[in-house]
Homo-oligomer: A and B are copies of this chain.
Amino acid sequence: MELANTAFYEALERGDFDGVSDLWLDAADLADAETYAGTPDTGGDAGTIPEAAIVPVPLPDADTGGPDDAEGPESGSDGPAISCVHPGWPVLTGRGEVLRSYALIMANTEYIQFFLTDLKVSVAGDTALVTCTENILSGGPAPQDSEELGPLVGQLVVATNVFRRTPDGWKLWSHHASPVLAESGDEEGDETPS
């Protein structure tokens, strides 16, 4: 099980788009799955409400990265509902959005290395849940007129990866990565213990 998780990060390190693509579930893998977008719930405060009632929130540029950025990833044409959250990003759904995001990240990353720690695996039936800390060292493309790498940056990120067992091995169903904010991060003020 850890091998599938490791293979995913190794493919990212190599900038191997096809390798990353192969590790995500595709339509054939999820033949037994059903996918749907939620319908509004009328029974309580926490129910979903029509999006029109919410003030639009600006999304990162990445979400509009390509001219082929089709609407309606939940329509089914985009494959099964794999989902992916990069640190600080909104949710990406469907192979189209998810794989496009990796192409963009790879195009802008000259060097990236993941040191995984705190790996924990929980398996139930044909689903595996993996959590880990990604200690990331990365560098962007070289500045103009330079042969050298851009500055290296370290990032502390935690990830929850969900895999499904398929005839071709474990495949990624969901990846959610988020930054770990420093101790002084009071943005989550109401979550700070007294």
Alpha-carbon gap, A121 to B35, bound state (A): 6
Is A28 in the interface zone, CB < 8 Å from B? no
Q: Is the CB of B116 within 8 A of A48?
A: yes
Task: Flag whether A95 is at the interface (Cβ < 8 A).
Answer: no
A-B contact pairs, 14 of them (CB 8 A): A2-B39, A8-B46, A45-B114, A46-B114, A49-B115, A65-B193, A81-B120, A81-B121, A83-B120, A89-B188, A91-B120, A91-B158, A125-B126, A140-B190
List the B residue with the shortest CB-CB distance to A164: B124
> Is A77 an interface position by the 8 A CB rule?
no
Closest Cβ of chain B: how far from A122's Cβ, in Å? 4
Q: Is the CB of B162 within 8 A of A38?
A: no
**A150, closest chain B residue (CB):** B190
Q: A6-B48, A38-B120, A89-B181 are in contact. List 8 more A-B contacts (CB 8 A).
A: A9-B46, A35-B121, A46-B114, A54-B135, A57-B180, A62-B191, A124-B126, A179-B187
What size tier do the contact residues of chain A reach?
35 or more
How far is B129's CA from A30's CA once the two chains are assembled, in angstroms?
13
| Docked complex Cα distance between A13 and B126 (Å) | 33
Is there contact, CB below 8 Å, between B179 and A88?
yes
Contact for A6 among B41, B59, B87, CB less than 8 A: B41
Instruction: Find chain B residues with CB under 8 A from A47 CB.
Output: 6, 116
Collect the chain B residues with CB atoms within 8 Å of residue A90's CB: 118, 133, 158, 180
Residue contact B91 to A162, C-beta cutoff 8 Å: no
* Bound: A192/B36 CA distance, A: 29
In the complex, which residue of chain B has the Cβ closest to the Cβ of A44? B10
User: Cβ of A21 < 8 Å from any Cβ of B?
Assistant: no
A170 CB-CB contact with B under 8 Å: no
